Structure 1
Amino acid sequence: MTRQEDDPGLFTAEEAPLDDLRLREALRIVEALIFASAAPVSETFLAERLPKGVEPGPILSQLQRHYAPRGVNLVRVDDHWAFRTAADLSFAIRKDDMEVKKLSRAALEVLAIIAYHQPVTRAEIEDIRGVQTSKGTIDVLLEAGWVRFRGRRRTPGRPVTFGTTRDFLDHFGLEELRDLPGLEELKGAGLLSGRIPPNFHVPMPGDGDALSADEDPITQLDLEELGLLAPRDEG
């Protein structure tokens, strides 16, 4: 790892440098924890394992700059961090030994609706698509880990609301939901073709985690009702 004095430009004015020994130790701890984890690591997790008085923010910023020109980059996913192959080297990564399951058009449409309109119920998804959505389509997205049950809407029947997950952000290389492409980006990528209605707009996703004012949190009984947990033994 590059020493601080060998690269004085690594720190910004807001990143008050530690003494060299503590800095190197903190860098090594954060690097090792993220490298050893199969899933993105939270800043809270890192802070709990750093020496007293050392904040993970400046350490992560330095590591991110250090890995920026390399074949592996340190990327932020929501408020979590992970090492990922540099995007421009994807052509060199062969996955012939892995079976890639392609999503159906229906599943892609549902995933896009959930991403942009969350929190959204199944009825709302069907209203946007104009067709019924099979349970199997949503099950595929749940099994992939890209969609989750968020809560229950405070309306008659208390329908379940859906939202995307951190794995969704990680898979599509997004730091947060606000990084989803907007109207001009979608048009430039050829994903919107034909004549677009003058009042058409791409919605701005809300907070990925916080429940909205008309949502209740998922409870143990809700999970049992949805078949995600076995009913508790009353005895």
Structure 2
Amino acid sequence: MRRLRRRLLRFLGIAVLAYVGICALMFFTQRSLIYYPQSRANRAGVPVMILHTDAGPVLVSTRPAPGPGAVIYFGGNAEDVSLDLSDFSSAFPDDAIYLLHYRGYGGSAGKPSEQALFADALMLFDQVLAQHPNVILIGRSLGSGIAVKVASERPIQRLVLITPFDSLTDAAAQAYPWLPVRLLMHDKYDSWKYAPHVTAPTRILTAGNDEIIPRWSTERLRTRFKSGLATYTVIPGVGHNSISDSPDYLRIIAKP
């Protein structure tokens, strides 16, 4: 009996050490699981705006246009936003377009983190606002967390959130239910903190078959906004990454 007990305790000790080791690995390498930097494919003839940040130049693919209107887009965690230029130019023919390449993406300097991307997004917004007083913010997936943050601190005309979350930890908890991700994560993108401070009309667009962001997380985010401010649209039959393939996608985004 004593031998069995010792073996059991030894097994439990090894299991605990292994679990702690996995938690430590997640803690120190988590940003490699959040951010998947992409190169900038759409280069030919595309004007690039440069943000001078503490990490070096951060690039913004643009479609310049005169007039008061502008669209700023914050993409997903594995997205080359330069490829969206044609679609957004078509959806917003009269507006200037600005697509932010996060740090480490598309030739931008530095490494991505929540605070760094927030700072870059606010810098971009302030420079765009100096030329265009009517700014529409669009954020997709990870970018929705950035868009909500900016919208909570700056005067915008309209906010569009595509497959957004209440907190990025919700998606992480779904992917790793056996880990205490809410305690381990550095970059949480807690949109629920910022949504109550948004004053612009907001459209939330979600995928009917989203396999990444839990539906309840998106629906909870909707309740964070002031009453009557946010509208909610579900595109059926599409997933988290295929939502933009829907023929209704650009129409819904561009709709005032």
Category of TM-score, reference length = shorter chain: under 0.3
Higher strand share: 2
Larger C-alpha radius of gyration, 1 or 2?
1
**Structure 2 length-normalised TM:** 0.26
